């Protein structure tokens, strides 16, 4: 059984090179570059000639990049991987073994993520509601501020493999037939929430998503978003509204819109 690795990049040349360099040389790697202006394509092509690169003429977003990369992939599993991640030696094999050895009803799996200093990162969550989203944002702010108590408590709570509503698309391993069954990512999500939507749709189709903390990778979180912070914030708000429109009630959508307006008024 083989895995195709799909990477969507945008102005992350050095991180992309480190990411690809951490992958097994024999792995099928497909990079969809969203019109980077930092020489990413040339650098990847020079350093890793076996990598297949799709050069987009414009920034089409994460979901489009994943879907177009998947259309060229030959593996029976797809590892959707952010360009700001790194896999320690042997990690891909452990990922594959975890999914291959699981119940066939487990369609996708996510893994424990830490930053370069080993600090825990949140890469899993419950089905979003307005309350759950507020709680997740509260937790994420504490982790961004390197609150070690919060990190330890959540890491300990997630210390065993479990079924979850969603795992982060920064490192998401999915069976190819499951990806095709739900028709990949919803391309109306430009950036953010597309991974949550994808996992929820797999659950609705009869599959399961699990979080495996026994496999750890490094994630330099938010590198692509930092290249264009203003557009990234706008994309987050747009995706958040679309997600609640798609998955929650009209009341919840209106409350999210009010929450977003209040947040913009205070920043």
On the question of pLDDT at 266 being above 50, the answer is no
Q: Are 245 and 130 in contact (CB under 8 A)?
A: no
Which band of pLDDT confidence, cut at 50, 70 and 90, is reported for residue 238?
A: confident
The residue among 149, 155, 162 whose CA lies nearest residue 113 is 155
pLDDT in tens, 90-128: 999 999 999 999 999 999 999 999 999 999 999 999 988
Other C-beta atoms within 10 Å of 181: how many? 15
The residue among 124, 201, 115 whose CA lies nearest residue 157 is 124
Q: What distances in angstroms separate CA 222 from CA 22, 96, 170, one per listed residue?
A: 19, 25, 10
Give the CA-trace dihedral at 6, 10, 12, 16, to 10 degrees: 10
Q: Are 123 and 130 in contact (CB under 8 A)?
A: no
Q: Residue 267 has what pLDDT?
A: 40
* CA pair distance 135, 107, nearest whole angstrom: 27
- Count, residues in the chain: 267
Please report the DSSP string for the chain in residue order: --EEEEEEESS-HHHHHHHHHTS-TTSEEEEEE---SSSHHHHHHHH-TTSEEEE-SS---HHHHHHHHHTT---SEEEEE-TTEE--TTHHHHHHHHHHTS-TTEEEEEEEEE-TT--EE--EEPPP-HHHHHHHHHHHHHHHTT-HHHHHHHHHHT-S-EEESEE-TTEEEEEHHHHHHTTS--TT-SSSSHHHHHHHHHHHTT-EEEEEEEEEEEE-TTHHHHTTHHHHHHHHHHHHHHHHHHHS-HHHHHHHHHHHHHHHHT-
* CA pair distance 26, 259, nearest whole angstrom: 47
Supply the pTM of this predicted model. Answer: 0.91
Q: Residue 89 has what pLDDT?
A: 97
Q: Residue 197 has what pLDDT?
A: 96
Strand pairing report for 166-167 and 52-55: unpaired
Please list the residues that pair with 29 across neighbouring strands.
5
Q: Residue 129 has what pLDDT?
A: 83
pLDDT in tens, 9-53: 999 999 999 999 999 999 999 999 999 999 999 999 999 999 999
């Amino acid at each position: 059984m083989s895995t195709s690795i799909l990477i969507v990049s945008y102005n992350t040349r050095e991180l992309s090179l480190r990411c690809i360099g951490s992958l097994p040389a024999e792995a099928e790697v497909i990079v969809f570059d969203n019109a980077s202006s930092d020489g990413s394509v040339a650098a990847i092509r020079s350093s890793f000639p076996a990598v297949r690169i799709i050069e987009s003429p414009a920034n089409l977003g994460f979901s489009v990049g994943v879907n177009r990369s998947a259309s060229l992939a030959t593996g029976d599993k797809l590892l959707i991987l952010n360009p700001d991640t790194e896999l320690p030696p042997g990690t891909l094999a452990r990922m594959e073994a975890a999914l291959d050895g699981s119940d066939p009803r487990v369609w996708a799996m996510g893994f424990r993520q830490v930053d370069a200093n080993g600090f825990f990162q949140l890469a899993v969550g419950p089905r979003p509601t307005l309350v759950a989203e507020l709680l997740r944002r509260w937790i994420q702010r504490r982790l961004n501020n390197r609150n070690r108590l919060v990190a330890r408590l959540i890491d300990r709570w997630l210390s065993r493999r479990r079924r979850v509503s969603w795992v982060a698309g920064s490192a998401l391993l999915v069976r190819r037939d499951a990806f095709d069954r739900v028709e990949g990512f919803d391309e109306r999500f430009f950036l953010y929430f597309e991974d949550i939507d994808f996992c929820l749709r797999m659950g609705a189709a009869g599959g399961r998503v699990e979080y495996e903390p026994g496999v750890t990778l490094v994630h330099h979180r938010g590198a692509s978003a930092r290249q264009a912070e203003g557009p990234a914030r706008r994309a987050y708000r747009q995706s958040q509204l679309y997600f609640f429109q798609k998955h929650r009630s009209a009341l919840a959508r209106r409350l999210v819109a009010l929450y977003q307006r209040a947040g913009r008024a205070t920043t």
